[in-house]
Amino acid sequence: MRPGDRDRERGPRINDQIRISPIRVIGAGGEQLGVIPTSEAMEKAREVNLDLVEVAPQERPPVCKIMDYGKFRYETSRKKDKAKVHQQKLKEIRVRPKTGEHDVETKAQQARKFLEHKDKVLIKVLFRGREMQHIEEGQRVIQQVLAQLADVAKIERPPSMEGKRMTALLAPKAAKS
């Protein structure tokens, strides 16, 4: 185990965990207090009711800062959460050629939510039995959905027949800056 591995496991040393002396100290306001013994730095931190946190253990002498450690941990966890990237998913909306107008609108609203959440949407029109003779009904339904989503989506793959189903792939429109 290398010296830097400890920091990634448990975080920086604070207060009495800092054994090395002397240390370079940075005050609560960011001012340099210089190289002083650890006990003196601990006293200064206690006077202002804050913690002494080791921020650069690899330096010689190690650099410690007087700060509120709880607030520091909270802010670093917030930064980590903000850094997470949304993983784009493929969502699927299924309709039938005989699906009613209102039901198609409801499905389009659901697809709109997926697109606004930056996911791709696959629209499937499923044909069964005699419905295969009326492909134009399925085209009408899929065009209706595409028209309702034209403002938030771009067509990545236009409607096409694949066996007994007609599919179209929509991707969210890039945000204009």
The pair of structure tokens assigned to 135 is: 């492909």
The reported pLDDT for the residue numbered 18 is 84
Cα three-residue angle 150-155-156, rounded to 5 degrees: 155
- Give the DSSP per-residue string, 69-85: HHHHHHHHHHHHHHHPP
C-alpha closest to that of 21 among 48, 55, 60: 60
CB atoms within 10 A of CB 154: 12
Give 61's DSSP letter: S
Question: Do residues 155 and 174 make contact, with C-beta atoms less than 8 angstroms apart?
Answer: no
Give the tens place of pLDDT for each residue, 86-143.
Answer: 788 999 999 999 989 999 999 999 999 999 999 999 999 999 998 889 899 999 999 9
CA distance 143 to 28: 63
Domains of the chain, CATH where assigned: 5-83 (3.10.20.80), 90-172 (3.30.110.10)
Give the tens place of pLDDT for each residue, 21-78.
Answer: 888 999 888 888 888 888 888 988 889 899 898 888 888 888 999 999 888 888 888 8
Q: How confident is the model at residue 1 (pLDDT cuts 50, 70, 90)?
A: very low
Q: Has this prediction a pTM greater than 0.75?
A: no
Give the list of residues 6+ apart from residue 175 with CB closer than 8 angstroms, or none.
none
